[in-house]
Amino acid sequence: MRKILLTGAAGLLGQALVNRLIENHELLCIDIAANPFSVYENLHYIQADLTDFAPLRLEIANFRPDFIYNCAAYSDVDGCEVSKQLAEMINIDLVKNLLDIPFTKLIHYSSDYVFNGQAGPYAETDPVDPLGYYGWTKLQSEHLIQKSAKNCLIIRTNVLYGTGINTRPDFMRWVAANLQQGRIIRVVADQFNNPTYASSLAQASIEAAACNLTGIWHLAGPDYYSRFEIANIIANLLSLDHHLIRPVSTIELGQPARRPQRGGLKTDKAAGVLKTKFLSLKDGLKMTFRFV
């Protein structure tokens, strides 16, 4: 039975991976959050701060993972501008520590924020140019992995959504929760991405690892929308008042960190190799809100 170390296991993607891997693998899961996997008796879970790696090194070494799925990230884009040291510790230093551990394969997740968003969606070969500190730290993690010359797979994705136990609300659930409360929300109409259903990403990641893909691959949803368009799709799906959704520009919203406006990822390369089909946004939202 293959041994898998999964960092950031309590997050949306981490939970989706665990739910798919648990049956046929031995898992060691690490996250700062409490264990959301009480239903799985054969899972070893460590609640720990991954910025303090020293206490974990021996236990991980004794576990001897075959595969490492690094889902851990400080993905608060505005927070990264303020807490740069924390962003580096999680998004860069953790990768350094994982690369020092013996493994068969490392699967690492990056972001479309490595691009400047002037001409998206982007292919794997397009030039990178991050606008903010979050994107910069993710790009540095990619460089570290590429320089290591080890068997690694870098997966770029964007706008992850889905369901999980005690996970941080994503954009989709933020929209739904506010509209259900009758609150007016201001949503940017000039930021575009292709939202990614977490369960689809988990399945595609496992397939890509099994195929021993290496280098950089883009795995993301098939539909390209603005945040404003996404919010209206959610309102229509859940029969909520779309008049509560007010379109604003990126400049008007005044977010602390600069965002790529035409972001998103081209997935042609992966589509030609992998069998996993990503759910459309509407089908993914139906699964997210259990509205079938």
Q: 70 is in which domain, residue-wise? A: 2-163+194-224+264-279
Q: According to the model, what pLDDT value does residue 115 have? A: 98
pLDDT (tens digit, 9 = 90+) per residue, 60-117? 999 999 999 999 999 999 999 999 999 999 999 999 999 999 999 999 999 999 999 9
Mean pLDDT across the stretch 239-253? 96
pLDDT (tens digit, 9 = 90+) per residue, 260-282? 999 999 999 999 999 999 999 99
Euclidean distance between the first and final Cα of the chain, in Å?
A: 36
Q: Does residue 42 register a pLDDT over 90?
A: no
Does residue 253 form part of some domain?
Answer: no
What does 237-292 look like in DSSP terms, one character per residue?
HTT--GGGEEEE-HHHHT-SS---SB--B--HHHHTT----PPPHHHHHHHHTT--
Please enumerate in sequence order all residues whose Cβ is within 8 A of that of 107, keeping only pairs 6 or more positions apart, or say none.
Answer: 67, 68, 69, 70, 152, 153, 155, 205, 208, 209
- Averaged confidence pLDDT in the chain: 96
- Residue among 240, 236, 263, 244 at smallest CA distance from 186: 244
Does residue 53 form part of some domain?
Answer: yes
User: CA distances (Å), 20 to each of 23, 108, 125, 205, in order?
Assistant: 7, 17, 30, 11
**Placement of tokens 């988990």 in the chain:** 202
pLDDT (tens digit, 9 = 90+) per residue, 197-231? 999 999 999 999 999 999 999 999 999 999 999 99
Does residue 174 form part of some domain?
Answer: no
Structure-token pair, residue 37 = 């996997």
In this structure, what CATH number is given to the domain that contains residue 68?
3.40.50.720
- Residue among 292, 178, 192, 162 at smallest CA distance from 241: 178
Q: According to the model, what pLDDT value does residue 1 have? A: 85
8: left (phi > 0), else alpha (psi -120 to 50), else beta?
left
Q: According to the model, what pLDDT value does residue 291 have? A: 56
Mean pLDDT across the stretch 179-188? 97
Contact between residue 22 and residue 14 where contact means Cβ atoms under 8 Å apart: no
Does residue 186 form part of some domain?
Answer: no
pLDDT band at 41 (very low <50, low <70, confident <90, very high): confident
Does residue 254 form part of some domain?
Answer: no
Does residue 257 form part of some domain?
Answer: no
Does residue 135 form part of some domain?
Answer: yes
Does residue 272 form part of some domain?
Answer: yes
pLDDT band at 290 (very low <50, low <70, confident <90, very high): confident
Q: According to the model, what pLDDT value does residue 99 have? A: 98
DSSP state of 140: H
Please enumerate in sequence order all residues whose Cβ is within 8 A of that of 39, keeping only pairs 6 or more positions apart, or say none.
Answer: none
Q: According to the model, what pLDDT value does residue 292 have? A: 40
Number of structural domains found in the chain: 1
User: CA distances (Å), 79 to each of 72, 106, 164, 220, 256, in order?
Assistant: 15, 27, 23, 24, 9
Helix 281-288 and helix 227-237: axis angle, to 10°?
50
Residue 136, helix vs strand vs coil: helix
37 or 291, which is more confident: 37
127 or 253, which is more confident: 127
Residue 146, helix vs strand vs coil: helix
Contact between residue 221 and residue 265 where contact means Cβ atoms under 8 Å apart: no
